Amino acid sequence: MIKDTESIECTEYLKPIMFVGTASDVGKSIITTGFCRIFMQDGYAPAPFKAQNMSLNSYVTSEGLEIGRAQAVQAEAAGISCHTDMNPVLLKPTTDKSSQVILLGKAIGNMSAKDYFKPEGRAQLFAEVKNAFHRLRVKYNPVVMEGAGSISELNLKSRDITNMRMAKEAEAATYLVTDIERGGIFASLYGTIALLDEDERKLIKGIIINKFRGDMGLFDEGKKKIEELCGVPVVGILPYFKDIVIEEEDSVALTQKMTRAVDGKVNIVVILFNRLSNFTDFNRLESDPRVNLFYSNNAAEILKADIVILPGTKNTIEDAIAIKNNGVAKAINEAFKNDKTVIGICGGYQMMGGSIADPHGLESGISQTDGLGLLPVHTILQAEKTTRQCFFTYQNLKDKCTGYEIHMGETLATEARPLNFLPDGQTDGYLFNNKCWGTYMHGILDNPAVINHLLAEYTAIEHTITDYAQYKEEQYDKLAALLREHIDMEYVYKSLKS
């Protein structure tokens, strides 16, 4: 549901709103998503904004530029097309010490954390971030902002371009989010606010407590003590929920999804690479009632699956070496020999070939390694990144499919046996047979034709896959309803109008 913002008349201006956290993964992204939907429902024209995001889960805009997947989801909740101004800086970790830096949708190189946080260049980077924000502010009302990690990391504060420095630039009504499941919220809330400067503290308008279990009435005394300690109201206590499905921001969520093979369903294992990227490729498949989808790097569990998927990775060579060393590569080859289905997406596709070369050192200090040898293809990583949204047909089926490409490699086959066919005559991937293929197309498993074709080998159960776009719209509405029920929206709106 994409709207034209120029057709929306909002006579009332709202200040930007920002959701910051006591730590990473406390719920900032999902709350930002919910508020994007609330403001849209209430007749405003919201847009999300996160100055800097660190994630291996990314998306491609209609202009063929790259942003964090979370901001694309938030834009979708707001009913608008995503844009690089919504996430001007994206960091994609390639190793434990370095990341690829994406500025306004384009890769500008790899940097170590030490180099990235050097004072030199931070002013220019912050200028780019501010310009992106102000471009959004002119067009949208309100801008719904998200912080990153904790707002009280004192060692990084002077180089901050994401949290309270950005809140001050935007003069945003700022709400502090914490996760009660982690424990210690009195100390984390009080300490976080106490460590702020006075001008920063004045921007904090309220506190939102996330993932509460049980009777909220039993926390009345706790709420009162938090308000006395912190000097701001607790404007919402959100219950823990599992019945609303919103895409997670990053692979930290996979720790809760690592299950095992079960009887009575088609078991699909996604190989858990060290640098696994774009795990949202499997959300649609995971929701199919015929499927038990799980993530694993355990060879014994992998061999129990009917279908093995090699997903994307931000470091193909090093992950290829890792799975050879931990026995996973042997299990994948054994699954292939046992006539199981083995497919690869992006980096996983590259890994299925004969070799992967990185002559320019783009992802690794290792210049080349052998692949699994399942497909007669070879990959060379290139400096120029391919990022584009695509329409295509899968194999010889007539259904029109959609997906997107994000990769730095060129994969060449010894003979042309494409999997996908694009309208401009280009092709994608390699089809060895129905049980073994590879593709660069992220989102390929969001398409009903592909899912049904993939599962037909293993189940005669027919399932009409619901309209996924409509399904996601329903989830955004459910999230908005939950936030309205448990957050003092009258207070929030008042803070945005004062």
Residue 377 makes CB contacts below 8 A (sequence gap 6+) with 349, 352, 353, 354, 411, 412, 413, 414, 430, 438
Annotated catalytic residue, options 230, 346, 390, 401:
346
Annotated catalytic residue, options 83, 378, 407, 442:
442
- pLDDT beyond 50 at 12: yes
162-174 residue pLDDT tens: 999 999 999 999 9
Looking at residue 2, what is its pLDDT?
A: 52
At residue 219's C-alpha, the angle toward residues 213 and 221, to 5°, is: 170
Are 450 and 307 in contact, with CB atoms under 8 Å apart? no
237-274 residue pLDDT tens: 999 988 888 887 655 556 566 578 888 899 999 999 98
Find the DSSP H helices in 429-467.
448-455
Of 25, 57, 55, 31, nearest in space to 280 by CA: 57
Are 85 and 132 in contact, with CB atoms under 8 Å apart? yes
Cis-peptide, bond into residue 142, ω within 30° of zero = yes
State percent of the chain over pLDDT 70: 94
Band of pLDDT at residue 98, cut at 50, 70 and 90: confident
State how far the Cα of 489 lies from the Cα of 471, in Å rounded to an integer. Answer: 26
At residue 22's C-alpha, the angle toward residues 21 and 27, to 5°, is: 45
- pLDDT beyond 80 at 111: no
Give the global pTM.
0.84
Band of pLDDT at residue 125, cut at 50, 70 and 90: confident
**Residues β-bridged to residue 324:** none
360 is catalytic: no
C-beta atoms surrounding 311 within 10 Å: 26
407 is catalytic: no
405-442 residue pLDDT tens: 999 889 999 888 999 999 999 999 999 999 999 999 99
Domains annotated for the chain, with CATH where assigned, are 15-245+475-488 (3.40.50.300), 257-457 (3.40.50.880)
State how far the Cα of 430 lies from the Cα of 352, in Å rounded to an integer. Answer: 10
Find the DSSP H helices in 42-179.
69-78, 113-116, 122-139, 164-170
64-85 residue pLDDT tens: 999 999 999 999 999 999 999 9
Are 292 and 265 in contact, with CB atoms under 8 Å apart? yes
CA torsion sign for 357, 316, 305, 58 is negative
Q: How many CA atoms lie within 13 A of 389 on its CB side?
A: 12
Q: Which helix (H) or strand (E) holds 227?
A: helix 220-230
